[in-house]
Amino acid sequence: MQVTVENVSELGRKMTITVEDVNIKEAVQQRLASIRPKVKMAGFRPGKVPMKMVEKTHGMSARSEIIDELVQKSMREAFEKEKVNPASTPQVDSLKEEDSSLIYTLNYEIFPEVKTVELKGLELDKSVAEVTDEDVDNMLNTLREQRATWDPLKRAAKEEDGVTIDFVGRIDGEEFQGGKGQDVLVVIGNGSMLPEFEEQLVGVKAGQDTTVTLTFPDDYRAEHLRGKTAEFAVTVKQVAKQKLPKLDKSFAELCGVEGGLAALKKEVRTNMERELANTLKNLNKRQALDKLADNNQFALPEAAVEREAQHLMEQAKNNLRQQGVNVEGLPFELETFKGNATKRVKLSLLVSKIIADNDIKPDEDKVKSAIDAIAASYEDPEDVVNYYRNNQDKLSEIQMMVVEDSVVDWIFDNVKVTEKTSTFSEVMNAAR
| 223-243 per-position pLDDT tens digit | 889 999 999 999 999 999 999
Same domain, 263 and 369: yes
Same domain, 265 and 296: yes
Residue 265's domain is classified under what CATH number? 1.10.3120.10
Domain, as residue range, for 274: 123-131+259-431
Burial of 12 (0-12, 13-18, 19+ CB in 10 A): middle
| Domain-located, residue 254 | no
Amino acid (1-letter code) at residue 375: A
How far apart are alpha carbons 217 and 223 in whole angstroms?
A: 10
15 and 105 Cβ atoms separated by less than 8 Å? yes
Q: How far apart are the first and last CA of the chain?
A: 57
Question: Would you place residue 97 in the very low, low, confident or very high pLDDT band (cuts 50, 70, 90)?
Answer: confident
pLDDT at 2 over 80: yes
pLDDT at 46 over 90: no
Burial of 243 (0-12, 13-18, 19+ CB in 10 A): exposed
pLDDT tens column, 152-182: 999 999 999 999 999 999 999 999 988 999 9
Query: Residue 351: what pLDDT?
Result: 97
Decide which of 213, 243, 273 is a domain's last residue.
243
- Structurally, the chain folds into a number of domains equal to 3
How far apart are alpha carbons 93 and 17 in whole angstroms?
A: 11
State the virtual CA torsion across 362, 367, 368, 372 in degrees, nearest 10. 180
Same domain, 282 and 417: yes
How does the average pLDDT of the chain come out, rounded? 93
| Domain-located, residue 388 | yes
Question: Would you place residue 52 in the very low, low, confident or very high pLDDT band (cuts 50, 70, 90)?
Answer: confident
Burial readout 132-141 (b: 16 or more C-beta within 10 A, e: otherwise): eeebbeebbe
Query: Residue 45: what pLDDT?
Result: 82
Same domain, 195 and 298: no
Same domain, 198 and 283: no
Query: Residue 10: what pLDDT?
Result: 93
pTM, whole model, 2 decimals? Answer: 0.73
pLDDT tens column, 196-219: 999 999 999 999 999 999 999 999
- Beta strand pairing call for 229-243 and 209-215: antiparallel
Query: Residue 141: what pLDDT?
Result: 94
Question: Would you place residue 298 in the very low, low, confident or very high pLDDT band (cuts 50, 70, 90)?
Answer: very high
pLDDT at 51 over 90: no
Lowest mean pLDDT among 15-29, 248-262, 267-281, 389-403: 15-29
Same domain, 127 and 159: no
More confident: 345 or 54: 345
Q: What are phi and psi of 164, to 5 degrees?
A: -90, 125
Query: Residue 364: what pLDDT?
Result: 93
Residue 41's domain is classified under what CATH number? 3.30.70.1050
| Domain-located, residue 279 | yes
Cα dihedral across residues 20, 22, 23, 28: positive or negative: negative
| Domain-located, residue 138 | no
Same domain, 316 and 384: yes
More confident: 53 or 157: 157
Same domain, 425 and 277: yes
The single-letter DSSP state of residue 207 is T
pLDDT tens column, 303-359: 999 999 999 999 999 998 888 888 887 888 999 999 999 999 999 999 999 999 999
| Domain-located, residue 407 | yes
Which pairs count as long-range contacts for 255-262, CB under 8 Å and 24+ apart, including other chains?
255/143, 255/147
> Which contiguous run of DSSP H or E holds residue 229?
strand 229-243
DSSP assignment of 73-103 equals HHHHHHHHHHT--BSS--EEEEEEEETTEEE
Decide which of 243, 269, 284 is a domain's last residue.
243
Q: What is the 3 state secondary structure string of 106-151?
A: EEEEECCCCCCCCCCCCEEEEEECCCCHHHHHHHHHHHHHHCCEEE
Residue 173's domain is classified under what CATH number? 3.10.50.40
- What percent of the chain clears pLDDT 90, i.e. is strictly above it? 79
| Domain-located, residue 141 | no
| Domain-located, residue 136 | no
How far apart are alpha carbons 42 and 322 in whole angstroms?
A: 54
184 and 198 Cβ atoms separated by less than 8 Å? no
> Taking the CA of residue 277 as centre, how many other CA atoms within 13 Å lie in the half-sphere pointing to its CB?
9
Same domain, 283 and 362: yes
Query: Residue 105: what pLDDT?
Result: 96
pLDDT at 398 over 90: yes
| Domain-located, residue 331 | yes
Query: Residue 202: what pLDDT?
Result: 96
- Beta strand pairing call for 123-128 and 416-421: parallel
> Which contiguous run of DSSP H or E holds residue 19?
strand 12-19
pLDDT tens column, 101-148: 899 999 999 999 999 999 999 999 999 999 999 999 999 999 999 999
Same domain, 314 and 166: no
| Closest by Cα among 73, 14, 111 to 345 | 111
Same domain, 267 and 388: yes
Same domain, 267 and 218: no
